[in-house]
Amino acid sequence: MIASFVNHLWQSTLFAVAVALVVRVLKDDSARIRYGLWLAASVKFLVPFSLLTALGERLAPASQGPIPAVFAWPASFERIAEPVASEALPGPIALALLAVWAGGAVLVAARSALRAGQLAALVNGASAPEGRVASRAEVPSRNASLPIRYSSTRIEPALVGIVRPVLLMPRDVAARLSDAQLDAVIAHELCHWRRRDNLTGALHMLVEALFWFHPLVWWIGSRLVDERERACDEAVVAAGHDRRTYAEAILSVAELRVASPVKCAAGVGGVDLKGRITAVMRSQTMKRLGLRKKLLLNLGAACALAVPVASGWLTAMSSALAEQGEFLPIVHIAPVYPPEAAAIGLEGHVIVEFTVDENGSVEDLFIVESSSPLFEQAALDAAAKFKYKPKIVDGKPVKSPGVRNLIRFVMEEDDFI
């Protein structure tokens, strides 16, 4: 259990690092795309690759006869994907680790719940606006309207709630902003509503509660907040609001208010206010994602799903090979071509037989057939270093005698079969 959890953390970390590299390439493209990538990195922590691997194993056909050796799955991939072997920890240590994790998860979840409760209390104490701010803001693409409520709180204008969200508007902010500035701020919050940012923010809060000990999770959270605000900034400018007016509105809100205390209440602020203002004031809007980058993103997404499924499928096929007595080495050492044979241009083969022990190592090695004595010692030296996936019987590894391997010596090839 511990090993599976550590392997899942390792895979999720690698995925997040890959996302970070892709995001860096897309730094001049739409923030909406970068936000989607960071959201995928967050969701990966909730979706173990083992689920996709299990799907691949189920897709493997039932064995109806000899299976070609081409279905051997490279051990190097397995070692990269799952570097921690399945080893049981002593009971007290496992319980202690579980208690520490559970305690941290409860504390993080309780803090988020407390802050969410405080926001709910603010909404309950807020009143409907009067005057120049409409009580409801229309969103044509959603064919719905968003209630707006005034509050005396110091929180910035924020979209509060997931099922029935409300735009919480501080009175002094509404009074200080001009009509154009207020319209731009409301447009920003409507963008959060249209994108359902509160829902995705709550999803990452769950990730933070479950993986509170992982620094990368908290860094992904800050990236999500920053990119979602930039994405809404781009939408506001693209909708025709004046850049300077909008930038002044953001600065005025930042001067008067504090940011929302929880990620599932999307406001106007962000973790990089200076960078956002600079982006808003650019002479051109963000360029559209090019065809090449679109293809690369789609290819990367397809690989992220297909590789673990293929891993499970090929692993199942390899297991079927083992059940048939066809053992495929997971570590295959190429033999050194004997200089004497190379000098006379001699090619040939050696068939070796041995026992695979419970650890997958080779023992009781001997030669069954040889085309020339010149190849025998090189074949024995190579085969002695082979590593196999041991045969499993009733859940335990067992010795497998009588395993044979054909080693070819071909001068035109660097490798051997």
User: What's the half-sphere exposure (Cβ side, CA atoms, 13 Å) at 337?
Assistant: 18
Residue 230 near residue 162 (C-beta atoms within 8 A): no
Superfamily of domain 329-409: TonB (3.30.2420.10)
Question: What is the per-residue pLDDT for 393?
Answer: 77
Question: What is the per-residue pLDDT for 211?
Answer: 95
Distances (CA, A) of 362 to 72, 316, 388, 403: 18, 23, 8, 9
- Helix or strand or coil: residue 112? helix
- Report the C-alpha dihedral over residues 247, 252, 258, 261, rounded to 10 degrees: -40
Rounded to an integer, what distance in angstroms lies between the CA atom of residue 245 and that of residue 194? 22
pLDDT in tens, 142-199: 445 788 888 887 778 888 888 888 888 888 877 888 888 888 988 998 999 989 999 9
Instruction: List the domain boundaries for the chain.
Output: 2-87+291-323, 104-280, 329-409
Residue 48 near residue 237 (C-beta atoms within 8 A): no
Higher pLDDT, 391 or 166: 166
Cβ neighbors of 236 (< 8 A, separation 6 or more) are: 184, 187, 188, 191, 246
Question: What is the per-residue pLDDT for 103?
Answer: 94
pLDDT in tens, 227-282: 999 999 999 988 888 889 988 888 888 877 665 655 666 766 666 778 888 888 87
pTM of the full predicted structure?
0.67
Higher pLDDT, 257 or 28: 28
pLDDT band at 365 (very low <50, low <70, confident <90, very high): very high
User: Ranked by mean pLDDT, which of 56-65, 70-79, 206-215 comes out on top?
Assistant: 206-215
Q: List the alpha helices (DSSP H) in 196-337.
A: 197-210, 215-238, 243-256, 273-280, 291-323
Q: How do the residues of the chain divide into helix, strand and coil, expressed in percent and rounded to 5?
A: 55, 15, 30
Using the predicted structure, report yes or no on whether residue 139 has a pLDDT greater than 50. Answer: no
Run of H or E residues at 360 = none
Which segment of 108-117, 203-212, 253-262 scores lowest on mean pLDDT? 253-262
Average model confidence (pLDDT) for the chain? 78
What is residue 325's DSSP assignment?
T
Rounded to an integer, what distance in angstroms lies between the CA atom of residue 283 and that of residue 286? 10
Higher pLDDT, 130 or 263: 263
